[in-house]
Amino acid sequence: MRVCVIGTGYVGLVTGVCLAHIGHDVICIDNNEEKVKLMKSGQSPIFEPGLSELMQAAAKDGRLEFSSDLAAGVNHGEILFIAVGTPPLPTGESDTRYVEAVARGIGANLNDGYKVIVNKSTVPIGSGDWVRMIVMDGIKERQKVLVGAGGVVSDEEVEKIAAEFDVVSNPEFLREGSAVYDTFNPDRIVLGSNSEKALSMMEALYTPITQRKYAEDPSLPPVPVVKTDINSAEMIKYAANAFLATKISFINEVANICDRVGADVTQVARGIGLDSRIGSKFLQAGIGWGGSCFPKDVSALIHTADDYGYEAHLLKAAVSVNQRQRLIAVEKLQQELKILKGKTVGLLGLTFKPDTDDMRDAPALNIIEQLNRLGTKVKAYDPLVSQTGLRHGLTGVIVETDPERLADGCDALVLVTDWAQFLTLDYAKMAKLMHSPILIDGRNFLDRKAIEAGGFRYVGVGR
């Protein structure tokens, strides 16, 4: 099928590349010329395991192109994905201006033939109808321009174009750091629309994936496809992220109680996670959730509830537990070192989770800010940030090039991100380079005994 993906971030680029890999003819559009130039030269503007290889192969085979020309993309695609960002506004609601610009642009360039316009971006509930309205505005604006220039576009023609597109909500559930894997091995595919024609085109698009042709385990039963109305599809995305974020806040609250009563939250998590009604995933206590999705999606859902006269008490509590949790590492440093002014603290990891270069709303940012406020010098080593030299707008932190340089002269280390590399560092050597070998394991990730054998005092969260 002919596909156009608009927006080439973590979601759009991975979607475009994976759809090209399974045989579709894809054009990826971005209005950031530099990104387009980079992608045309075969380089991925983001780090995702396996992405560059697939991207280069699909481009070589002629199934994947990159452009900043929206009109060309709209002309090419029978399925048009909107995959631009929906960052949070200071009020907590979602900033939909990028979606609006793209929807208007699609309308202004719609040509003959049936098109499916797909909301892949996470958009507030009700955005399906809103996108349809904006696309219609775009069509009418083009009509005005053409008529003004002496062209003839009758109202009937506008009606005809309008009758030839449908909007589908197809929320994305991929995780940064395993986005390509998740695209080929999804737990489900959610499709929201009131058009049977649009739904069957979307099902056909995803057939190689739902039939597990590219799955790690092709013998599994087909991927479930949840076909529903647009509002429910949009709500599924918010409810999924809100549930996962709340689950983490829940175990962090339990961890804080464990810390006070002398229980070990890792044991408690194992004990409750074996209950199939609870499940063991998302029960790792630590310094809280972050990244570009959970914080903004939970806030947006709280905001939507407020708009409709409902106060989302549980979600608000999940956010407030998380805000406090992010600074638990600083509290533990204060317990260990007492005064933090004039001390040096080293952070192991900066990104909000391993295997990504994304720093959006990462807990490290709050920790750096709070330590700086308390007069502490902050250094950091992150496998990706240190390697790429990308600063991501980081301030108040010295980024070191290796773990030993990080340890040198530190009064304590804090493990912020659970990068696999951190399991095998030479902790004994690092301990010797420090003023005081204290390690706050903000993810309960390391083996306490091994760290203590290296000469460290080990402090976990809730254990």
Segment interacting with ligand NAD, rule: CB under 6 A, options 78-86, 153-161, 309-317, 414-422 = 78-86
Task: Supply the residues annotated as catalytic.
Answer: 293
Q: Would you say 409 and 378 are in contact if contact means Cβ atoms under 8 Å apart?
A: no
Task: Assess 8 for contact with ligand NAD (CB under 6 A).
Answer: yes
| Shortest Å distance, C-beta 171 to ligand NAD | 7
Task: Assess 234 for contact with ligand NAD (CB under 6 A).
Answer: no
**How many residues bind to ligand NAD according to rule CB under 6 A?**
26
Task: Assess 85 for contact with ligand NAD (CB under 6 A).
Answer: yes
* Helix axes of 313-326 and 363-373: crossing angle, nearest 10 degrees: 50
Q: Which of 3, 4, 9, 384 binds ligand NAD (CB under 6 A)?
A: 9
Residue of minimal Cβ distance to ligand NAD:
9
Segment interacting with ligand NAD, rule: CB under 6 A, options 84-92, 306-314, 409-417, 427-435 = 84-92
Task: Assess 287 for contact with ligand NAD (CB under 6 A).
Answer: no
Task: Assess 403 for contact with ligand NAD (CB under 6 A).
Answer: no
Residues 6+ positions from 52 with CB-CB distance below 8 Å: 42, 43, 44
Segment interacting with ligand NAD, rule: CB under 6 A, options 47-55, 79-87, 322-330, 425-433 = 79-87
Q: Would you say 81 and 5 are in contact if contact means Cβ atoms under 8 Å apart?
A: yes
Closest CA to 203 of 59, 195, 126: 195
Site for ligand NAD in 124-183 (CB under 6 A): 172, 174, 176
Q: Which of 44, 96, 109, 121 binds ligand NAD (CB under 6 A)?
A: 121
Q: Which of 96, 122, 143, 366 binds ligand NAD (CB under 6 A)?
A: 122
Alpha-carbon distance 223 to 187, whole Å? Answer: 6
Taking the least distance from each CB to ligand NAD, the nearer of 142 and 332 is: 142
| Shortest Å distance, C-beta 321 to ligand NAD | 22
Closest CA to 409 of 420, 418, 419, 398: 398
Question: What is the CA 333 to chain-centroid distance, rounded?
Answer: 29
Task: Assess 88 for contact with ligand NAD (CB under 6 A).
Answer: no
- Contact pattern for ligand NAD over residues 13 through 42, marking x by CB under 6 A: ----------------xxxx--x-------
Closest CA to 23 of 75, 81, 68, 64: 64
| Shortest Å distance, C-beta 112 to ligand NAD | 23
Task: Assess 102 for contact with ligand NAD (CB under 6 A).
Answer: yes
Q: Would you say 16 and 64 are in contact if contact means Cβ atoms under 8 Å apart?
A: yes
Q: Which of 72, 101, 225, 272 binds ligand NAD (CB under 6 A)?
A: 101
Closest CA to 12 of 94, 121, 108: 121
| Shortest Å distance, C-beta 361 to ligand NAD | 11
Site for ligand NAD in 173-232 (CB under 6 A): 174, 176
| Shortest Å distance, C-beta 446 to ligand NAD | 26
Task: Assess 74 for contact with ligand NAD (CB under 6 A).
Answer: no
Alpha-carbon distance 368 to 375, whole Å? Answer: 11
Burial group, residue 376, by CB count within 10 angstroms (0-12, 13-18, 19+): buried
Taking the least distance from each CB to ligand NAD, the nearer of 300 and 407 is: 300
Task: Assess 86 for contact with ligand NAD (CB under 6 A).
Answer: yes
Taking the least distance from each CB to ligand NAD, the nearer of 304 and 344 is: 304
Residues 6+ positions from 232 with CB-CB distance below 8 Å: 192
Amino acid at position 65, single letter? E
Closest CA to 191 of 212, 174, 206: 206
Query: What's the order of all strands across the beta sheet hosting 438-441?
Result: 398-399, 377-381, 344-348, 412-415, 438-441, 457-459
24-46 CB burial, b ≥16 within 10 A, e <16: bbbbbbbbeeebbebbeeeebbb
Q: Is 426 helix (H, G, I), strand (E, B) or coil?
A: coil
Taking the least distance from each CB to ligand NAD, the nearer of 187 and 275 is: 187
Question: Residues interacting with ligand NAD, by CB under 6 A?
Answer: 6-12, 29-32, 35, 83-86, 98, 101-102, 121-122, 172, 174, 176, 292-293
